[in-house]
């Protein structure tokens, strides 16, 4: 048993020693310089999957939790491609808006994900904690179809809705 412990400690020391690095000077060859110069140009270009701007109407959906239940008002809306939806927390938070990847049109998933800023997870918007806090999603470039959505903390309380994109 004592030998096994020594072998484990010795192996750990070898692994840690291999990762230690040392006092090697930074590489300054000419091959590394162009890569460093190319980085600022890449930062200036728009990122792939960047949020598309809203080109139509922005519709407001209120997020409510009170004595009558937890709900989106209106829960079901029809919008045009290019419109936006602004979710505003009124009461009963925390609230968010999330879409089920299996329930939305496959053609719209990538665009919808790109148009959802500050995602907490795949197709899940940020959590809103304070009254009047809002979260806006652009539906520009999103394929027509039905997009069922829900509030993650209140899904079991039937806080759901559907956005239909024409």
Asked if residue 40 is part of any domain, the answer here is: no
Asked if residue 31 is part of any domain, the answer here is: no
Asked if residue 18 is part of any domain, the answer here is: no
pLDDT at 9: 41
pLDDT at 50: 79
CA-based nearest residue to 56, from 79, 29, 88:
79
Asked if residue 46 is part of any domain, the answer here is: no
Dihedral through CA 142, CA 140, CA 84, CA 163, nearest 10? Answer: -20
Per-residue pLDDT of the chain (166 residues; tens, 9 = 90+): 444 444 444 444 443 344 444 444 444 444 444 444 433 333 332 344 578 999 999 999 999 999 999 999 999 999 999 999 999 999 999 999 999 999 999 989 999 999 999 999 999 999 999 999 999 999 999 999 999 999 999 999 999 999 999 9
Asked if residue 29 is part of any domain, the answer here is: no
Tokens 């800023």, located at residue: 117
Tokens 């053609």, located at residue: 107
What whole-number distance in Å separates Cα of residue 47 and Cα of residue 43? Answer: 8
Per the structure, the complete domain to which residue 87 belongs is given by: 58-165
Asked if residue 16 is part of any domain, the answer here is: no
CATH of residue 113's domain is 2.60.40.420
Asked if residue 44 is part of any domain, the answer here is: no
What whole-number distance in Å separates Cα of residue 49 and Cα of residue 140? Answer: 12
pLDDT at 147: 97
Phi, psi (degrees; rounded to nearest 5) at 85: -125, 125
CB crowding 44-62: b at 16 or more within 10 Å, else e: eeeeeeebbebeeeebebb
Asked if residue 43 is part of any domain, the answer here is: no
pLDDT at 72: 98
CA-based nearest residue to 110, from 38, 52, 35:
52
Number of domains in the chain: 1
């Amino acid at each position: 048993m004592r030998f096994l412990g020594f072998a484990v400690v010795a192996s750990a020391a070898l692994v840690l020693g291999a990762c230690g690095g040392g006092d090697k000077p930074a590489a300054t060859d000419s091959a590394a310089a162009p890569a460093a110069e190319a980085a600022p140009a890449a930062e200036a270009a728009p990122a792939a999957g960047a949020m598309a701007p809203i080109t139509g109407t922005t519709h407001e959906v209120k997020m409510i939790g009170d004595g009558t239940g937890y709900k989106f008002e209106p829960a079901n809306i029809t919008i045009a491609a290019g419109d936006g939806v602004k979710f505003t927390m009124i009461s009963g938070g925390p609230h968010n808006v999330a879409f089920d990847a299996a329930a939305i049109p496959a053609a719209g998933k990538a665009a919808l994900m790109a148009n959802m800023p500050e995602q907490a997870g795949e197709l899940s918007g940020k959590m809103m904690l304070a009254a009047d806090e809002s979260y806006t999603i652009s539906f520009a470039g999103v394929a027509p179809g039905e997009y069922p959505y829900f509030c993650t903390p209140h899904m079991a309380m039937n806080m759901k809705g559907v956005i239909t994109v024409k």
